[in-house]
Amino acid sequence: MTVSNKDKVKELIKTKVSLAPMAGITDFMMRDLIRKYTKDSLLTTEMISSEFLRQVKGNVIEKKNEKSSPVSYQISGHKPQMMADAAKYLEQFADMIDINMGCPVNKVVKGQDGCALMKNPQLATDIVKAIKEVINVPLSVKFRLGYTFEELNYVEFGQKMQEAGADFITIHGRTRSQMYSGNADWEKIRLLKDNVDVPVFANGDVNSIETAEECLAKSKADGVAIGRGTLGDLSLIYRIEHYFKTGEKLPLPTIEEKIEQAIAHLNYEIELRGENTGIKFMRKFYPYYISKIHQATKLRSKLMVSEDLKEIYEILNIIKQKKEPII
C-alpha cells in the first residue's frame, strides 16, 4: 500500500514542532546535536542553493549529509528546472523538500530567490509544479506575510502554492521589509490557516514553551517552527515537543547543562572541522550558551578570542561551576 503525501506529512509533523532552516547554523552538526534530544521532530537543513548544488553535485553534499530522519532539505533558487534537479538529487537524503520563499537578504532577493518569489507567484507556482513532477517525498514551502506591509499577499500566495502541489507550509509572521525587526504577527497567520487545507507551521519569535503555546493559540497553526531559540539551547525543541505531548514543563537547562552542551558542541566542531577552524567556528555560538549568566561577561569575551583549546576548556569549566541562577 502506498502512503499518501498527506499521511507522510502528518507523520513528519506529529510533534507539532520543527527546527527552522538557518544558513550557517542548521548544518548536519547542529542537527545532530539537537537530534540527541528529540528523536521525532522535523529538522530542516540550511538552505542549499540549487545553483551551487548544480556545480558540486555528487561531491560535497553527498559526503557530508547523512540522513538523520525526519529531515527536510531546503533549497533556494528561481529556475524551475534547476530547482527540480536539486530536489530530485536531494530526495535521496530527505523526508521532505522545502522551498525557500522567505529569505529577505538583499543578495538573495536581487537574484529573484527567497522572498522575491512572493512578488512573482507565477514563477513560484512553476517551481512547485516542476519539483512535484520529479519527487516522491512531500514538498513544503516557507514564506513570509508578504514583501512589504502594502503587499500582504500571504493568504492568496499560500493558496496558489497549495494548488500547485505544496503539501505543507511554514510561515514566518513578518514581511520581507521587516527583515527581523519588530515582532512576528502570530494572529495574522490564522487567516492563512483558515484558508488552506494543508498543514501550516507558524514561525517567528518562539523561544520557550510559553511562547510556543501562545503562538499556537493565536495562529491556530498546526505547529511551530523554531530558529533562533535553539541557539544555545539544544533541548528547546524537545522540551516543547514533550510539553505538547504530555503537558509537563521540563525545567530550563541549568548553567551546568548549558556549558555541557557548549562543550559537546565545541568537541563536535573540532572533530569535524579540525581544531583551528572548529575553535573559530564555535565563536558565533558562545554568546548564546553563555548569556544571562551572572558575571560571565569577561570570561565570555576571553573565549571569543582564545585560540588555545586548553584555555577554552578551562574557561568553560569555570563558568560551569557558577552556582548563581541564570539572570
Ligand X SMILES: Cc1cc2nc3c(=O)[nH]c(=O)nc-3n(C[C@H](O)[C@H](O)[C@H](O)COP(=O)(O)O)c2cc1C
Residues annotated catalytic, as ranges? 103
Give, in order, the Cα–Cα distances in Å from 53 to each of 67, 98, 100, 127, 209: 17, 15, 15, 16, 37
Q: Which of 85, 205, 222, 269 binds ligand X (CB under 6 A)?
A: 205
Q: Interaction with ligand X in 300-319: which residues (CB under 6 A)? A: none
| Choice between 167 and 312, CB closer to ligand X | 167
83-102: which residues touch ligand X (CB under 6 A)?
100, 102
Binding mask 122-161 for ligand X (x = CB under 6 A): --------------------x-------------------
Q: What are phi and psi of 204, to 5 degrees?
A: 120, 115
Lookup result for grid cell 498527506: 6
The CA distance from 120 to 259, in Å, is 45
Closer by beta carbon to ligand X, 165 or else 229: 229
Asked if 208 touches ligand X (CB under 6 A), the answer is: no
Shortest CB 41 distance to ligand X, Å: 14
Site for ligand X in 214-233 (CB under 6 A): 226-229
How far apart are alpha carbons 208 and 229 in whole angstroms?
A: 7
- Residue 84 to residue 147: CA distance in whole angstroms: 25
**Amino acid at site 41:** S
- Contact between 202 and 225 under an 8 Å Cβ cutoff? The reply is yes
Rounded to whole angstroms, the Cα distance separating 253 from 32 reads 18
H helices within the chain, ranges in order? 5-12, 28-35, 50-56, 60-64, 80-90, 106-110, 121-134, 154-164, 186-195, 209-219, 236-246, 255-273, 275-282, 286-289, 297-305, 309-321
- The residue within the footprint of ligand X, chosen from 50, 74, 175, 178 (CB under 6 A), is 74
Residue 100 dihedral angles phi and psi, to the nearest 5°: -80, 110
Contact mark string toward ligand X, 1..40, x via CB under 6 A: -------------------xxxxxx---------------
Distance in Å, CB of 225 to ligand X, minimum: 7
Stretch of residues binding ligand X (CB under 6 A), selected from 155-163, 189-197, 203-211, 266-274: 203-211
Interface with ligand X includes 115 (CB under 6 A)? no
Shorter beta-carbon distance to ligand X: residue 132 or 142: 142
* Nearest by Cα to 156 from 129, 118, 186: 118
Nearer to ligand X, 22 or 128 (CB): 22
Cβ closest to ligand X, residue 155 vs residue 215: 215
Q: Which is nearer to ligand X, 22 or 270 (CB)?
A: 22
Cβ within 8 Å of residue 52, ≥6 positions away: none
Site for ligand X contains 46 (CB under 6 A): yes
Interface contacts to ligand X, rule CB under 6 A: 20-25, 46-47, 74, 100, 102-103, 142, 172, 203-206, 226-229
